[in-house]
Each structure stands twice: as C-alpha cells, then as structure tokens.
Structure 1
Amino acid sequence: MTRLFHVSDLHFGREDREAVDWFADRVHSEKPDAVIVTGDLTMRAKKAEFAAASAYLSALNVPVTVEPGNHDLPLYNPFKRLFRPYKHFRRLEAKIERPLDLASIWLVPLKTTARFQLRNWSKGWVSERGLAKAIACLRRKPAGAVGVVACHHPLVDREDLESQARTRGGSEALDALVEAGAEAVLSGHVHDPFDVEWRATIGSIRMVGAGTLSERVRASPPSFNELCVEDGQLTVRVRAMA
C-alpha cells in the first residue's frame, strides 16, 4: 500500500501554529510515503514567509511536492509578479511541481496560477502550455499506477463551497486529463475538504480538495487528506484536528 498526505493552504504568515504542529507530528509518527502541498504556502509571498515554509517542509523528512498557489505570487509588486514571481521559491526549488513516481501512484503537477489576468488575480487559469505539459507527463504513467494530478485551484466549482475558483479552461482540462489517464485531481484554495466525482465527456474523475492549516478556516476545522492506494484502488480520508 502507498500512503500520501495531501495538505493545502498553510498560509505562513497567518498559519495556525497548533495546526501546523499537529500535521508535522502526524507526518513524523506515521511516516507517509510523501506529502503533497497544493498551494498557498504563504500569506503574502514575503521572503520571511517562504523561509518559514521551507524550514517547515524540510523538517518533515519525507518526499514533498509543492504546487504554487495564488497567495505565493507577489500581490503588491507588479514587477516581481510579472518577471520574478517565484524568486522566493528558490529554497523550495527541488520540491516545486515535482512529479512523483511511487510505484502505485503517478503524481503529475498542473499549474493553475496566473501572473496576470484581466479579472481577480486569485482565480484559477489552466494555460494550454501547462495542460500540454501535464498531459505529456500523464502519458508516461506506468501500467497499473493510479494517475493523480495536483494543482492549486479546483478545476470546476461546487455550489456548496463558500469560495469559488472560477478556473478558466478547467472543465476542458478535466476532459483532457481523463483521456490522458488521470483518475483524480487534488487541489486546495477553498479551505474546505471535498471528494466528489466529476462526469467528463468520456468518463469520470475524482476531484479531491484539502482544507487549510491556517487561521483562515471557513466551514471546516484545520485538516488534511490521507490518500491510500492498494490494488489499484484510491481511498481518501479527511483527517481533521480535534
């Protein structure tokens, strides 16, 4: 069996100290095969926030892969946002958009952040280039492995969630990902966990969202998802802090 911990929206700078310590304790005691972070490591993409996030993730002592979130791009410095948006990610460079091959799971990154768009910059956007890169990686999935895609924004919205991503190109991306062999898409952004089936044009795919470990909770307490794959079957369990 392969076991992963899926966490999102730590928001260092506004992190819930008790929650991030609780998650680290779970990782240290249970030793999952890897940790997947689907974005928003920081609150305002500040150097000190990235330094704290980098130190925290490095101390987990397990393989980690990270997707950037909209909060991880500079908001108040247009030059940095356009030309050096990931400057402070350098300490995490080996973990950023890192595909994972864990025998029974083939994890593929998909970027949904945008440096610039003529609407609220917090919303998601799947570019043609980013989708093509993810599909090419998916097509290299070993036989028998479960194909999982990791991104920050949910690719389509759900009415029962308070926050909406309104991801441009999201539903079209889901169709393409299903055709390429993906069985699940992991995301964050909305700060509430979910696990639903999406009916694509040629099949179905699971959409799995993680909650938050920050002070910015919505309907749910701080939590993370535990993903297990055994005999080709993916199970997901929400682990909430009591």
Structure 2
Amino acid sequence: MRTIAQISDLHFGAHEPAVVAYLHAALSAIRPDLVVVSGDLTQRARKEQFAEAALFFDRLEAEGLRLLIVPGNHDVPMHKPFQRLFWPLRRYTRFIARGRSAWYCDTELAVLGLASAHGLTVKDGRLTQVQIRSIGASFAAAPESAARILVTHHPLVPLPGEEEGEVEPALRGAKSALKAVRAAGVHLVLAGHHHMPGVNLSGPTLSIDLGVMVVQAGTATSWRRRRAPNSFNLLRLVSPNEVQVEEWISEGGAFSSPGPCKSFARSAGGGWAATSS
C-alpha cells in the first residue's frame, strides 16, 4: 500500500502558525510515501511569504519526506502587472521549485504536477496546449502497474460552490485536458483552490467518465476556511484500482481523522464507485 498526503492552500501570510506546527507534526507521524502540495503556498506571492513556505518544506524534506509541489494563483504577484505578465512564477521558482521535480514515478506510483496558475489569469487557472500534451508524454513512460495521478491547483471539472446552486468553474483548457487524462489512463486528479474538500466522480456541468476520480483538498493552514476546519487528505492506494481517502482536520489543535475513511474501487469496466462511507 502506498500513501499520499495531499495538502493545499497553505496561504503563508494568512496562515495560522499553530496549525502549521500541527500539520508538520501530523505529517512527521504519518510519514506518507509522498506529500503532494496542490498550490497557493502564499497569500500574496511576497518574498517573506515564500521564505516561510520554503522553510516549512525544507523541514519536511530534512525528515526524509518526499514532496511534489505545484503553484496556485496566489503564488503569482497580483499587484505588480509587469512581473505578473513576464515573470509570473519567478519567486516561486526561486524559493520553492529549486530543482524539485513535478514528476514522480516508480513501479507503483506515477504522479505529474502541472502549474495551472499563469500571469494572464487572476483567480481562474488554465493549462496550455504544451502542458496538455505533456500529460500523455509523461504517463507513457510510467509502468503499467503504476497508479497514475495528475495534480493541479485548479480543478479540471466544475464543482459545487459554497452557496446552494453555485458552481465553481473548471480551469480553462479543461475539456482538452480531460481528453488527455482519459487517453493516458490517469486514475486520480488532485486539486485545491476552493478550500472545500471532497471526492467527486464527475462534475455537475462538465461530465467526465467514471474512470477519473477528482479529489479536492481544503485549506491546510489558512484562516480563510469557508466555514470548514483546516484539513488535508490522506490517500491510501491499496492498488491502482482501489483507493481509500481519509480527511484529517484541525479545529485549532492537533490534526486527527474524525471518521471512517471513504473507500473507492474501479470496476472491470473502468468506472470508480464508492464501496463504503
């Protein structure tokens, strides 16, 4: 069994310092095989905020944890249009990327991270045609036995919003990206952005086949919680066709899992379905 901790929307600069310490303690105790960070590391892409995020990640890596990180829209300067247009991810690259790979692959696990935050977007994200083509090219190199996972900050499908009847849009380029996802045999798509955790087998307006599971993470450490506690997801991959998703939450104290994990399995026809709740 392989384990992945999915943390997202840390928003250093609008974070709860105590919750950051509790998150560090939880990850150190769980020791997942991979920590996936699905964007919005900072609140306003300032140097000091990136420095805080970098220190947090460096400490995790110093304890032997492996990280795969993608940026979010908050990691692009909002109030500096020249930087936003020409060097949108310069500070992210300087402080965070620093040679870290957005691709992880072994015989059981293949994970690709793509940056959906760009200088021409403000809140919403997009994937370029070059990025979409990289989905097929990357996973073509993965063993058939590996569970295939794509990570972006912005979700690939529209999702229910905070208010009743509200729908949060998918990133631009989603239809082409989903075709590439299906063609590459991707099993799971992990994202953040909306601060609302959950598991979705399809989107409400942009349908996808049931062979793709969308796992959303809440905000791990920010006080911008949308009336939900701070949280992260722990995914246990029993096999490429069987996944358990467990939400760990903090109400200002130590992170814990309040309930049973949700289990999902893929049928012989390739569709995901819940096997327990």
Q: How does 1:18-97 map to 2 (within 5 A)?
A: 18-61=18-61, 62-89=65-92, 90-94=94-98
Residue number in structure 1 paired with 2:17:
17
Asked whether 1:235 is paired with 2:239, we answer: no
| TM superposition shift of 1:49 | 0.3
1:51-101: CA deviations, max 9, x gaps? 000001110131111111000001111111122222222132246551112
Secondary structure, counterpart of 1:60 in structure 2: helix
Residue number in structure 1 paired with 2:255:
none
Secondary structure, counterpart of 2:78 in structure 1: coil
Asked whether 1:216 is paired with 2:224, we answer: yes
Find the partner of 1:164 among 155, 168, 179. Answer: 168
Asked whether 1:185 is paired with 2:201, we answer: no
| TM superposition shift of 1:230 | 1.9
Q: Distance in 1 between matches of 2:193 and 2:129?
A: 21
Kept after mapping to 2: 8 A contact 1:65/1:95: no
1:210-232: CA deviations, max 9, x gaps? 00020100142100000111233
Secondary structure, counterpart of 1:6 in structure 2: strand
Q: Distance in 2 between matches of 1:15 and 1:65?
A: 21
Q: Distance in 1 between matches of 2:53 and 2:107?
A: 28
| TM superposition shift of 1:175 | 2.5
Bigger-Rg structure (1/2)? 2
Asked whether 1:106 is paired with 2:118, we answer: no
1:176-212: CA deviations, max 9, x gaps? 2011110110000000101011286665200001000
Q: Distance in 1 between matches of 2:109 and 2:145?
A: 9
Q: Cα gap change, 1:202/1:157 in structure 2, threshold over 3 Å: closer, same or farther?
A: closer
AA in 2 matched with 1:225: N
Q: Cα gap change, 1:159/1:29 in structure 2, threshold over 3 Å: closer, same or farther?
A: closer
Structure 2: unaligned runs, 5 residues or longer: 252-277
Q: Distance in 2 between matches of 1:51 and 1:81?
A: 19
Q: Cα gap change, 1:54/1:108 in structure 2, threshold over 3 Å: closer, same or farther?
A: same
Measured on the aligned residues, the alpha-carbon RMSD in Å equals 1.9
AA in 1 matched with 2:234: E
**Structure 2 length as normaliser, TM-score?**
0.81
Asked whether 1:205 is paired with 2:212, we answer: yes
Q: Distance in 2 between matches of 1:2 and 1:100?
A: 13
AA in 2 matched with 1:143: E
Q: Distance in 1 between matches of 2:209 and 2:169?
A: 24
Greater shift after overlay, 222-231 or 169-178?
169-178
1:106-133: CA deviations, max 9, x gaps? 101122112115xxx1112121111111
Kept after mapping to 2: 8 A contact 1:211/1:223: yes
Q: Distance in 2 between matches of 1:150 and 1:48?
A: 26
Q: Cα gap change, 1:103/1:241 in structure 2, threshold over 3 Å: closer, same or farther?
A: farther
Kept after mapping to 1: 8 A contact 2:136/2:183: no
The total of aligned residue pairs comes to: 239
Residue number in structure 2 paired with 1:130:
131
Q: Distance in 2 between matches of 1:93 and 1:111?
A: 11
What is the identity percentage for the equivalent residue pairs of Structure 1 and Structure 2?
31
Greater shift after overlay, 44-53 or 17-26?
17-26
Q: Distance in 1 between matches of 2:227 and 2:211?
A: 27
Q: Which has the higher contact order (CA 8 A, sep 6+)?
A: 1
Q: Distance in 1 between matches of 2:55 and 2:85?
A: 26
